[in-house]
């Protein structure tokens, strides 16, 4: 059966070639939905890879963007990857076996991850045992509409593919911190829209607990200094998303009180 590769992108010129070069021999079409990149992502994808169908769409959140890309896929099987993910040869063969078989055990498959932080392969701290859905029949799954931390929605049993995805998470500390800032913005917005509120005690305590959980309980210390870095930045992310939620809540309450006072005067 034919296979669609789906990817959403924004300024991925440093990642996209590595991914596309690894998969052009096993996929039948490549759907890319780009959020109006300002680098050479569009130029690379459209000029170098004839299988690519390149679309542009304003980014309103990861869930919406992925579902848009999914709707554009024309084949039954979809391999949905991030631009910084690359399957190893064992995983590629597993994908080929599944999609070429007339009868498969599952309609949705997970892949194990090798998470890389720069030159370091991270084995602990919650990063070493990651599995996520990446291959599925289009009619059996869609993504949640969450702006961030979206997930695949399916009522199917999920199989596990052989092999692993190499995930090259961050190219530099600057890049990592920029993504933490972006994701914490989106996460705070998501929590606010769902009515979640936060107190100052949790803002203070939660980041400390997150560091202890990642570095101690999840054995992040066994990864050495990279494990410490991950625990520290996870703690920072936790602090940012909660303090930003608190800020949004205070602003909302201030505006609401102003509206009440205005209506009372009238």
Cα–Cα distances in Å, from 256 out to 119, 204, 253, 264? 50, 26, 5, 12
Read off the tokens for 27.
């996929």
Query: Between 118 and 71, whose confidence is greater?
Result: 71
Burial annotation 215-244 (CB, 10 A radius, 16+ → b, else e): beebebeebeebbbbbbbbbbbbbbbbbbb
Residue count (the chain): 266
pLDDT digits (tens, 9 = 90+) for 70-112: 999 999 999 999 999 999 999 999 999 999 987 788 999 999 9
- pLDDT on residue 261: 79
Rounded to whole angstroms, how far apart are CA atoms 195 and 170? 32
Confidence of residue 18 (pLDDT cuts 50, 70, 90): very high
What is the per-residue pLDDT across 23-79, written as a single tens digit (0 to 9) for each?
A: 999 999 999 999 999 999 999 999 999 999 999 999 999 999 999 999 999 999 999
Residues in contact with 165: Cβ distance below 8 Å, sequence separation at least 6, in sequence order: 81, 85, 86, 87, 88, 91, 111, 112, 113, 114, 134
pLDDT of residue 262: 80
Model pLDDT, residue 263: 80
pLDDT of 266 reads: 63
| Positive or negative torsion for Cα 218, 222, 223, 224 | positive
Distance CA 193, CA 89 (A): 42
| Mean pLDDT value across residues 202-211 | 97
Render pLDDT for 140-178 as a digit per residue (tens, 0 to 9).
999 999 999 999 999 999 999 999 999 998 888 888 999
At 183, is the pLDDT very low, low, confident or very high (cuts 50, 70, 90)?
Answer: very high
Mean pLDDT of 185-190: 96
Please give the pLDDT value at position 97.
Answer: 95
Q: What is the 3-state secondary structure (H, E, C) of the chain?
A: CCEEEEEEECCCCCCHHHHHHHHCCCCCEEEEEECCCCCCHHHHHHHHCCCEEEEECCCCCHHHHHHHHHHHCCCCEEEECCCCEEECHHHHHHHHHHHHCCCCCCCEEEEEEEEEECCEEECCCCCCCCEEEEEEEHHHCEECCCCCCCCEECCCCEEEEEEEEEEECCCCHHHHHHHHHHHHHHHHHHHHHCCCCCCHHHHHHHHHHHHHHHHHHCCHHHHCHHHHHHHHHHHHHHHHHHHHHHHHHHHHHHHHHHHHHHHHHC
Question: Does 238 score more than 90 pLDDT?
Answer: yes
The pLDDT tens digits of the residues spanning 216-232 come to 999 999 999 999 999 99
- Average per-residue pLDDT in the chain? 95
């Amino acid at each position: 059966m034919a296979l669609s590769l789906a990817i959403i992108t924004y300024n991925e010129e440093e990642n996209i070639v590595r991914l596309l070069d690894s998969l052009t021999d096993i996929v039948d079409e490549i759907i890319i939905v780009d959020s109006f990149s300002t680098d050479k992502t569009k130029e690379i994808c459209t000029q170098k890879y004839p299988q690519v169908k390149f679309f542009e769409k304003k980014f309103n959140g990861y869930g919406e963007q992925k579902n848009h890309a999914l709707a554009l896929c024309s084949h039954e099987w979809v391999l949905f990857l991030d631009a910084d993910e690359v399957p190893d040869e064992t995983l590629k063969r597993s994908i080929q076996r599944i999609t070429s078989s007339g009868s498969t055990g599952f309609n949705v498959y997970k892949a194990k991850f090798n998470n890389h932080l720069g030159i370091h392969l991270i084995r602990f701290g919650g990063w070493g045992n990651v599995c996520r859905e990446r291959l599925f029949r289009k009619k059996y799954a869609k993504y949640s509409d969450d702006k961030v931390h979206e997930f695949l929605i399916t009522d199917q049993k999920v199989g596990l593919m052989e092999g692993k995805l190499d995930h090259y998470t961050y190219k530099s500390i600057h890049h990592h911190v920029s993504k933490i800032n972006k994701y914490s913005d989106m996460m705070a917005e998501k929590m606010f829209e769902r009515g979640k509120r936060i107190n100052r005690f949790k803002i203070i305590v939660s980041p400390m607990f997150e560091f202890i959980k990642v570095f101690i309980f999840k054995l992040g210390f066994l990864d050495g200094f990279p494990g410490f870095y991950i625990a520290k930045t996870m703690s920072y992310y936790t602090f940012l998303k909660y303090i930003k939620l608190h800020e949004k809540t205070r602003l909302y309450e201030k505006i609401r009180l102003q509206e009440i006072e205005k209506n009372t005067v009238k």
